[in-house]
Structure 1
Amino acid sequence: MSDTLPPPDARRYHHGDLRNAVIDAALALLEEKGVEGVTLRQCAARAGVSHGAPGHHFGDLRGVLTAIAIIGFERLVVSMEQSMMRAAVEDRVSALGAGYARFALNNQAHFSLMFQLDRIRPDDPEFLEASGKAWQLFEREVIRRFGPRSDIKRVRDILWAATHGRASLMISGQMKRPENLEADAKLLFDTFVTTPPPSEGEFGA
């Protein structure tokens, strides 16, 4: 029987731990350096594995970034759900918006990556499932709060665009972060209780 031990990497990352180690490394790099700072070589170095190890698990950098985006959408759903749990029934949908904004502002690089479809695999089944759950949660609560009304799908789309757009503007520094995210989201969402969105073509073609 050979006394030769497997390489340290193989001992440390047995049973799938390599995947998690690479993801943790990539998340840390994303937070520190932005998406441009996340490379397979840097992920391997940060995780303490061979240069080729991340590629064996994820195929390429897009695979790593897709895994990160999936985690982002899962955490976004948790943030929205936790925010809603603390709200009164009539404020659930605006609390959801506050949870959306809070996740975005507290995880700016991660949030940005989640919507950079040119850097990930947007047709990945796990990505579609994770992003779909976030969208379905948003849609369900908007319909619960504002439906039935004939323009509910337009209300849904405009509220998502406003929620996402405000978060993006705050991240870029073009809009100041409000002192109270819940109150800010409530002001935005409650506008649609009595005010319909603009009709098709109202602002020109």
Structure 2
Amino acid sequence: MNTVKMTQAKPNRRKTSPVERYHHGDLKTALIEAADRILAEHGVAGFSLREAARRAGVSPAAPAHHFGSAAGLLSEVAILGFEELAHCLDVDPAAGTPTQRMRMQGVGYVRFALTYPGRFHLMFRHDLLSPDHAALQAAGDRTLMQLEQTIRAMRSLPPQQPLDASARAELLAAWSMVHGFAHLALDGKLAQLHADAPSSDLLSEVLPKMLENRWPDA
């Protein structure tokens, strides 16, 4: 008796292209998130457009198509950095005196750097970012303005009054102190003075004492 071998027909599953897996607008977000993860894992030196495209599941040409260049994509990640830094600098005006708020902002600045070292190292690398990126410039200006507002409060300067030379120097001193401290902490250069001090101690003890010495309570 002849037997017939029955085979089940396989469904016709058309392979979708990587771009088809994203809704409109999501591809740019996926590439930005991929670049951000690369920076978090490997730093600025480990970034490449090809790796960002691979992680996003698109062709190597896709990042350049959407952002123009590596600088365009990295500028978008830098914007994320400035937005998060602005959040870390956002101190409730009722939290203390202007001097106390300045010290809180200093701790917030360094906390951001230690939490997001990839973003932090990128945000100030102008050689890697688009020089004419308006949104990036605006994000940086908004972040610096938060420190400026605290300086104004410390000196009782109205919002419309330009900062004089002394106030600008105070702003630069505040920024330079916490920015330099963050770099030293990330590079492990504080070990000689504070051996084996974890990041939590740097933020809760070492840095607050340094800031209090610079801006003591009246």
State the alpha-carbon separation in 1 of the partners of residues 89 and 203 from structure 2.
12
Alpha-carbon contact 2:103-2:215 (below 8 Å) kept: no
Counterpart of 1:68? 77
Answer yes or no: is 1:39 the counterpart of 2:48.
Answer: yes
| Equivalent residue, structure 1, for 2:203 | 181
Paired position in structure 2 for 1:88:
95
Kindly state the Cα deviation for residue 186 of structure 1 after the two structures are TM-superposed. Answer: 4.2
Q: Counterpart of 1:200?
A: none
Native 8 Å contact 2:67 2:73 kept in 1:
yes
Q: Any idea what SS the aligned residue of 1:50 has?
A: coil
Residue by residue, what CA displacement relative to the aligned partner does 1:131-177 show, whole Å, maximum 9, x if unpaired? 00110011111221244597222111111111111111111111254
Change (3 A) 1:174 1:135: same
Structure 2 unmatched ranges of 5 or more: 1-11, 158-163
Unaligned ranges ≥5, structure 1? 195-205
**Does the residue aligned with 2:25 lie in a helix, a strand or coil?**
helix
Residue aligning to 2:30:
21
Cα drift, residue 181 of structure 1: 2.2
Shift in CA distance, 178/14, structure 1 to aligned 2, threshold 3 Å: closer
| 8 A Cα contact 2:35 2:47, kept in partner | yes
Q: 1:70, 1:79 → 2: CA distance? A: 14
Task: Please tell me whether the aligned partners of residues 98 and 185 of structure 1 are also in contact (alpha carbons under 8 angstroms).
Answer: yes
C-alpha displacement of 1:119: 0.6
Alpha-carbon distance in 1 for matches of 2:93, 2:83? 19
Q: Decide which of 101, 104, 114 is 2:123's aligned counterpart.
A: 114
Give 3-state SS (helix, strand or coil) of 1:51's partner: coil
Report matched runs for 1:48-59 at 5 Å.
48-59=57-68
Q: CA deviation at 1:178?
A: 6.2
Amino acid at match of 1:96: Q
Name the CA shift for 1:182/1:86 in 2 (closer, same or farther; >3 Å).
farther
Aligned residues, how many?
191
Say yes or no: does 1:98 pair with 2:107. yes
Kindly provide the amino acid, as one letter, of the partner of residue 37 in structure 2.
Answer: A
2:143 corresponds to? 134
Residue aligned with 2:173, SS:
helix
CA distance in 2, matches of 1:180, 1:171: 11
Q: Do the aligned partners of 1:94 and 1:189 also contact (CA within 8 Å) in 2?
A: yes
Amino acid at match of 1:111: F
Structure 2 partner of 1:199? none
Matching residue's letter, 2:71: R
Deviations 1:100-155 (A, max 9, x none): 11000111121011011101113310010000011001111122124459722211
The reply to whether residue 158 of structure 1 matches residue 185 of structure 2 is: no
- Whole-Å Cα distance in 2 between the matches of residues 135 and 183 of structure 1? 25
SS at 2:24 equivalent? helix
For residue 15 of structure 1, give the secondary structure of its aligned residue in structure 2. Answer: coil
TM-score between the two structures when normalised by the length of structure 1: 0.82
